[in-house]
Structure 1
């Protein structure tokens, strides 16, 4: 996949992924993961290979893929009693769960990894991951305790990469605990270690996080310079997670400058990427930024919408910390109550007069308790009304995320069954030479340009009742014929494709928008797909099947300004459009499909349409 704008969107660099493959560096090798997936899918024997599963669990970036491969690794390793794979399996499972925000389950996996650790270094890595989880749940003091224990372990080793990484995490923890002097001291030590070993990506992390520290100290020029340098380096490395917090940092800086529209753009990009990859903590922080900025600009409805989402993600992320704090408060309360009982008994033996005082005090406390219960009851009633109101608002939000029929099924059953559609047409479009052009544009201008194109594409899809599925960087995906089947799905989406290519062409030729100098290519394929909702807490409507894969192949074999279709789509539209045969292409399972360029709508059809 090419480098594109969507990589400018999420950070909370805590060693959650580095510890899995210290010898590989900070970011997983997604290219290697893609190659391994091809091997994994090639045969049932490959899917049982422990080494392949181990490498896939370590290198996969998407949390749901990391979780899938780590669980398969553990299942097969347990069947074969291959204990040497248990540590990696539990560790990677914990990393995947933590990335999704399921911190209680992540902690359980990390503790299981600790139980099978073979040496002090592996135990040290577990301490790092535990520190990461507690940092993510804002239990910063406990997080720093684990980090400093891990630092003591790795100072005894020659592993400079891991030592620098743990010191970096501790510095990040001090930053989030607002201990700025300690934060900068640790980050600068980590930066020096990475310089000594020529670790450029680690230097990018340090640069960006120091930028966040400078921003908190009001040193905005230094902050912006550091963060921009970090984003550029991380974008080249395709390291998604850290870029979000850096973008949030940019949003803070532009908010301080009173450039609110630019701040909203940075925070929105951070939120979108975090939602795309299931990063709950980063989604929460981006929602908070947006709520604060919209409140500042006086747009209260938008501020309220994003603050509500912030509350939802905040409660999900902080469950672990809340449970721990409640347990501690309960223990403190019970000890205090026991001490009161002992003191009262002793006082009664010493002086009977204190009994009268105690009774009076108790009566007062009972009255106070009764009054408190009365107030509490009133509070519960008001809260229930608020909750009901929020429930109604949440239902409206769900209808904006999912098709109405799908949303109703989700509310009724708590889940959505996958549904097969026998005949739909899938469209893929992307911009040619996007990476080359994007490298010469500042981030904020590139963001505005992409939004200009995709907003118009959305309007075209709405015009033809076509379901937009998703955007991935500069790639745009849509499907016609679902969630409500229709007979002319191929015709509708082809008409939409012509409008898309014409819009891009006119924009470039007539210079209708600054920096809008892109060329688009389009690919279509028709056939059956399976559609459904993925995720249990963050829902997304998606489609799967060979039809989707072939549509992507059609797009990759298309050319500038062209609409390339498979013979499946050709059979549906050949009577209405003039097409040009352009050869064959091999698809999955060795099948050969013919390809056609769609030239124009036939004259008689054009008259009917007109």
Structure 2
């Protein structure tokens, strides 16, 4: 009889530790451990008149504060207090042997007061851990959030800088200049200030077979005197937008525009034997666009 009881107790203990391992991976399974702990003690109380304490109360309460995915600390506190109340109720009914001995058990050194202080301290330690953990997690989240914001801002700033530079200079000219500037910044940080190291790159390239197109709006001076500034900017924006689309269609690269002058080159970035023909077609297309805008 005693051998079977010991075997049953050991079985429950090993089963409890099995649930402990499972709970570390799946914290919501703690609900299986609570009835297992209480059932084992109640079973021995009725079957063998053994007054046993609980095994996993400390672990369950700590696990509520540490592992359960409860967003608010108030929910964790309420759940931990509920579990503590169940264990205290078990003590009152089975260990203190009924509510009749509640008062004597409460004020005895080894009685219920010890259990209350025990669970109170467990909850205080759990609350302290949860508050500190939430503070650290929130601080880490805010730091990471700030880092991502700064990274996105820096990436957008670099993209705007590149777009601005590409709108002023052709890519084959702007890219060497960007690399040269970055190299000089790195060398300046390393303390290299010699004239040879800081010498600027001459972004000069020879293109022997290209065609250049200058487009000028006739009577532009008259437009500046008859249109408002807002209307003039809107007209030029619409016109140059059409020019850019046409230039892209006919493989002509826009170099710059100044006022009413649109300056573009064919066969510059990609050598093309039909560069002259592309410029002529683009010029005719520009005339049509100017007539449409007017």
Q: TM-score, normalised by structure 2?
A: 0.38
Superposition TM-score, scaled by structure 1 size: 0.20
- Between structure 1 and structure 2, the one with the greater Rg is 2
Structure with the largest fraction of strand: 1
